[in-house]
A and B are shown apart, each in its own frame.
Chain A
Amino acid sequence: MTIERKEIEKLATLSRLAIDEKTITDVTGRLSSVLALVDQLQNADTESLQEVSRPFHISQRLRNDEVKETDQRDAFQAIAPQTHNGLFSVPKMIE
C-alpha cells in the first residue's frame, strides 16, 4: 500500500500541521515505507490468536460515586487567558 500526496495534505490539515512543499515529497516516501512494513505484518497468520491491546488482563479500577471535589473555580480561572462572569471566554465558535 502506498500513500498519495493528497492524503498527506489531508492528514496535515486534520492534524493542524504545516508541511511545506519541499518536505511533502520526502514525508510521502517515508510514510509509504512505514505502510509497506504494515503490509508485511498483515501477512502474518493471526487467525487463531486473540487480540492483545493491553499487556495484562486486569480491570480498570472503579471509583465509588462520592463527591470529593470542591469548588476551585477561582484558582482555575486565575490562570485562564480570559474569563467573564465565571465563564471561560473563548473566540466565538459560531456565526
Chain B
Amino acid sequence: MNWETVIGLEVHVQLATKTKIFSAASTAFGATPNSQACAIDLAMPGTLPVLNKQAVNYAIMFGLAIDAEICQESVFERKNYFYPDLPKGYQTTQLEKPIVGPGSVTIQLADGTEKSIRIHHAHLEEDAGKSTHEGDLPYGMSGVDLNRAGTPLIEIVSEPDMRSAEEAIAFAKKLHSIVTSINICDGEMSQGSMRFDVNVSVRPDGSSTLGTRTETKNLNSFKFMEEAIEREVERQIDLIEDGGTVAQETRLYNGDTKVAKSMRSKEEANDYRYFPCPDLLPVLVSDEAIDELRRSLPELPDARQKRFVSEYALSDYDSATIASDSNMSAFFETVVGDSNHAKLAANWVMGELSGSLNNAGLGFTESPVSAQQLAGMVARIADNSISGKMAKQVFEAMWLGEGTADEIIDAKGLKQVSDSGALEKIVVDVLAANAVMVEDFINSEESKRKKKLGGFMGQIMKASKGQANPQQVNQILLQKLNELL
C-alpha cells in the first residue's frame, strides 16, 4: 500500500525584546544563572504582570508578514502546568483569542514549484526556565535556572498542510527567514531562539481522514527535524503494516543517538484547565497602530528575492539563497553598491565568503572581510586586474586582516598582466621554446587540438608567474597557432 505523510508544525519563536513579556528583567542570553529572574518571574506573592509593548508589536508584525488577520481584542489565558521551571504553576498564554489569526506562508520546493501552507494562528506566551538534571547537583535534585522564564514567545501553529519532510523543512526555513528579516527574532537556533514541534501522521493514499498523530517536541535544528520526521514516518508505516496502531503520544528526539522516545501519552490530554487570566486585561489594538506597524515592516524575503532578480538580474536560485538571509542580503547589496558587479558579488558572497564564515562559525555581521573590502576585490576581478585564482589568494589575505584588496595585490605583486604587447611576447617565447609541442599540435586532427591547448596555457602561465590574463592569453595563443596551420 502507498502511504501519504501529513505534517503540521508548532513553532516557538523567542522574540528579540530586551525584557521579559511580563517583567522588566533582561532576556540577554548566557547570563549567570538566575541573575535575570526578578520577583515577577519567580512568582513571588503580590507580584502582577505588566505586558511588554514591544512583544505585542512583534507578534502583530509577524501577523502582517504572513497576511494574517490581527485580533484587535486578544485575551491572555492561564494554562495550568505544574513544573518548577515555571514557578507560577501556570503558563500565561493565549487560547480563545490569539493575537494573530489565520494566515499563510508560501514555500518554494526543490523542483521549482510553490505551495501555500496555511497558518492556523499565532499566539503570545511566556517561555519556561531551564532545568538541569545532570552534572554537579545535590543527590536526587534537579537544578533550575529561571533566567529564561518569562521570555516572550510567539507560538505559530500551522495547519496539517505539509506532505513530506522536504515541505516541512522548507516551511521551517521560510519562517526562520521571515522572523529574522523583520527583526523580531535573532534566529539563533543553537541558543533555542526557534524550536519546532512536529506533528506527524500517515494515511493510505487517497484517504481523506487523518491518521493518529504523534508529536515530536523541541527540535532545534533543520537537520534533526528532517531526521526525526523521516524516522517517525517509517516507524508509523511499519507499525500499521504489521497490524498495529499508532498511539497518540509525545516523543522526544535525540539528535546524537538518532532515536526518538515516547515522553508521555496523550490519553489524559487537555487537562490544562485554561481560563482567562484575571491579572491581565484584554489587549486592544487600534487600526492606526496596525497601520503604523505595517508601514514599519522591513522588506520580506519573497519581495526581496523578486527584487534581486529584477534589479540585479540574478538567477532564481542565487536570489532565493541570498534573499532568505537578511544579513547576507545586506552584505550582498553593499558589495554590489560599491563594486557594481552583481553576479560576481553574488558568487563571492554565496561561495567563498559563506563557506569561510560557516567554517569559522561566524555570521555575516561578524565577517572579518567587510563588504567594502570584498567590493574592492570584486572590482579588481571585474576590471581584469586579477584572475579568479589570484582573487582566492587576495580573499585569504583579507580574511587574515592583511588589508584592502589593492594593498594586498600590491604587496604580493599579484597584478594580472593584461598588456597585450607583453603577453604576445610571452606567448611567442613559449611557442619558440616548445617546438616539439607545436609540431605535434599542427599534425593533430582538429578535434584533438583543443585538448592540447592546455599544455601551452600551462607553460605560458608558468612563464608569466601566474600573472597573465588567461582570457587574453587564450586569444593570442589561438591566433598565433592558427597562423602556423
Contact = CB atoms under 8 A, between A and B. Distances in A.
A63 interface: yes
Nearest to B278: A54
A88 B18 contact: no
Interface in A14-44: 14
A88 B143 contact: yes
B281 A93 contact: no
Contacts of B283: 59-60, 62
Contacts of A72: 38-39
A53 B147 CA distance: 33
A90 B132 CA distance: 10
Contacts of B56: 62
A55 B29 CA distance: 40
Interface string A57-79: 11111111111110111001100
Nearest to B53: A62
B136 A91 contact: no
Q: Interface on chain B toward A: helix, strand, loop, or mixed SS? A: loop
Interface in B3-37: 17-19, 23-26, 32-37
B298 interface: no
B138 A82 contact: yes
B37 A73 contact: yes
Q: Interface on chain A toward B: helix, strand, loop, or mixed SS? A: loop
Interface in B364-407: none
B281 A60 contact: yes
Contacts of B143: 84-85, 87-90
B141 A84 contact: yes
24 contacts: A14-B273, A59-B282, A60-B280, A60-B281, A60-B282, A61-B281, A63-B51, A63-B52, A65-B18, A66-B18, A66-B19, A66-B24, A84-B138, A84-B141, A85-B33, A85-B136, A86-B35, A87-B33, A87-B137, A88-B145, A89-B142, A89-B144, A90-B84, A93-B84
Which 6 A-B pairs give the minimum distances between C-beta atoms? A87-B143, A59-B284, A65-B54, A68-B24, A62-B53, A69-B38
Interface of B: 17-19, 23-26, 32-39, 42, 44, 50-56, 75, 83-84, 131-133, 136-138, 140-146, 271, 273, 276, 280-284
Interface of A: 14, 53-54, 57-69, 71-73, 76-77, 82, 84-94
